Amino acid sequence: MATLPDGKMKDLAMWVDPVRSGAVLGGATLSWLVLEKSGYTLLTIASNLLLLLLISLVAWKQAATFFTKMPPPPAQSFELSEATVRKVVDITVSHVNLTLAYCYKLGTGNDLVATAQALLALYVVSKVGAFFHILTLCWLGVVGFFSWPKLYAAKQAEIDKLLGEAKAQLEAAKAVLEKEIRSKISSAAPAKKTE
């Protein structure tokens, strides 16, 4: 199983500083509760906060013209350098092209096993998505981040054994399923005529 690289994220996930890890997990849980129970969406809250910020800046600027001792808000010009944009685009283009090539491969059905796996994955995601709000899934990811690494470190031998057994069973089931699919495809194919 992959391990977390050394650094602050690993320290958070492994609860090296319980106060800091607890504060981050508690803050994430509180944010989730507020967003989930208030009925607001993340987009609504973000747009309302930006609206409040914009009104405050305009009011501050107007108040600074009336009161000479009050400085205007510090405003900086926000610009992206062309070099930064080109670097991001160069990195992004290769990933987008790889993704599109894989989607084309799935869509044409050239690799039936990969296509079946993608269909199964999309079906599972749609069923899970029907039960959970996207924000709840994000929160479950945060909870998993704070619980799984510590649990794995404490019970590594047992978890590795169980994962090995599960992997062997999945591989066996996959082999049987592939054999069955291939036999049905070959039996459904029209027989070649010999002259």
Read off the tokens for 119.
Answer: 């269909």
Q: What angle do CA 103, 109, 111 make, to 5 degrees?
A: 90
b/e map 146-167, b = 16+ CB within 10 Å? beebeebeeeeeeeeeeeeeee
Count other Cβ atoms within 10 Å, centred on residue 79.
7
Point out the least confidently predicted range of 19-28, 58-67, 85-94, 158-167: 58-67
109: alpha, beta or left? (left if phi > 0; alpha if psi -120 to 50)? left
Q: Report the pLDDT averaged over residues 178-185.
A: 85
Predicted structure pTM score: 0.52
Asked if residue 149 lies in contact with residue 4, where contact means CB atoms within 8 angstroms, the answer is yes
Please give the pLDDT value at position 64.
82
Q: Is the pLDDT of residue 80 over 90?
A: no
